[in-house]
């Protein structure tokens, strides 16, 4: 589903990804682990087209991105947009629209990007909020929600675009232990339902309990790739 082949990425001539090759399978949950600064967020951002790279190739299904320099042309921009819709991203800091309710946040992209009918968007958004345990909070604004609740709205918002794969960058790291459990439960339910996910995490519990596959990135190099137990034992 996602194939990363020999990707090299540098920032200001500092190599951040030093030839990364890894495959994330459809319907499986992968955990991306490793020390801070190892390149995990950068790799997720490259997969989703938010960050370009100097060498190698990344494909998400049948859409492939190669190295580029300069501004993307029109065809390239269309491809980037298609990849972003295919690979939904959930950021550590939720990134909800502060002036919109939970429901409006989840409806926004299907309504304005996909231009689906408002009634359908609303029904679907309510059912997604229900799925993440927030059906009763659909009219709350982000400031009225706890961190764990906001993170769950962010997950519902990503799911609203029917992504083929969900990329999550440390979805539990900003949360206290009780809120973490709420979000982990949502992730586990999604995993059981056969979603394809790549989760960047520092939590051994997330790797052990949710992932089918784990990859450790250190200093821009894949230093372990195997079952969660193998990769955790290696760390
Ligand atoms: N936009 C940028 N410009 C310059 N350097 C960057 C940029 N983004 C990331 N880096 C550098 O790239 C390296 C890898 O960063 P990245 O955020 O991918 O690490 P990470 O594995 O996600 O770390 P953490 O676990 O702390 O989130 C770091 O040294 C970081 O300082
Ligand atoms: Mg990071």
pLDDT digits (tens, 9 = 90+) for 141-191: 999 999 899 999 999 999 999 899 999 999 988 888 888 888 888 898 888
Q: Is residue 155 in a domain?
A: no
Cβ 37 under 6 angstroms from ligand 1? yes
Q: What is the pLDDT of residue 109?
A: 93
**Contact 40 CB / ligand 1 (< 6 Å):** yes
Domain count, the chain: 1
Flag whether pLDDT at 33 surpasses 80.
yes
Question: Going by CA atoms, what residue is nearest to atom 7 of ligand 1?
Answer: 11
Inter-residue contact 10 to 191 (CB < 8 Å): no
Q: Does residue 42 line the site of ligand 1, with CB under 6 A?
A: yes
Q: Return the CATH number at 212.
A: 3.40.50.300
**Would you say 169 and 118 are in contact if contact means Cβ atoms under 8 Å apart?**
no
Q: Which pLDDT does position 235 carry in this prediction?
A: 75
Q: Is 97 in the pocket of ligand 1 (CB under 6 A)?
A: no
For ligand 1, mutation pick of 33, 38, 50, 168 (most atoms within 8 Å of CB): 38
The boundaries of the domain holding residue 189 are 2-94+164-233
Mean pLDDT computed over 52-65:
94
Residue 80: HSE in the Cβ half-sphere, 13 Å Cα cutoff: 16
How far apart CA 140 and CA 136 sit, in angstroms, is 9
Spatial distance between the Cα atoms of 206 and 153, rounded to a whole number of angstroms: 19
Three-state SS at 167:
strand
How far apart are the CA of 17 and the centre of ligand 1, in A? 10
């Amino acid at each position: 589903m996602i194939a990363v082949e020999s990707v090299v990425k540098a920032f200001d001539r500092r190599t951040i990804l030093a030839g990364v090759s890894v495959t994330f399978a459809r319907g499986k949950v992968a955990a991306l682990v490793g020390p801070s600064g190892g390149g995990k967020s950068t790799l997720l951002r490259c997969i989703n087209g938010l960050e370009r790279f100097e060498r190698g190739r990344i494909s998400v299904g049948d859409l492939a991105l190669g190295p580029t320099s300069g501004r993307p042309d029109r065809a390239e921009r269309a491809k980037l947009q298609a990849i972003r819709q295919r690979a939904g991203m959930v950021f550590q800091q939720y990134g909800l629209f502060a002036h919109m309710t939970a429901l409006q946040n989840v409806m926004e992209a299907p309504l304005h990007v996909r231009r689906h009918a408002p009634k359908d968007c609303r029904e679907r958004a309510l059912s997604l909020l229900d799925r993440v345990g927030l059906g009763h909070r659909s009219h709350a604004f982000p400031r009225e929600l706890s961190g764990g609740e906001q993170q769950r709205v962010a997950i519902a918002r990503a799911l609203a675009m029917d992504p083929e794969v969900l990329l999550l960058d440390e979805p539990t790291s900003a949360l206290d232990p009780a809120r973490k459990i709420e979000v982990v439960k949502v992730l586990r339910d999604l995993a059981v339902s056969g979603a394809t996910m790549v989760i960047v995490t520092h939590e051994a519990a997330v790797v052990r309990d949710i992932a089918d596959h784990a990859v450790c990135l250190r200093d821009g190099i894949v230093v372990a790739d195997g079952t969660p137990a193998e990769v955790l034992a290696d760390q």
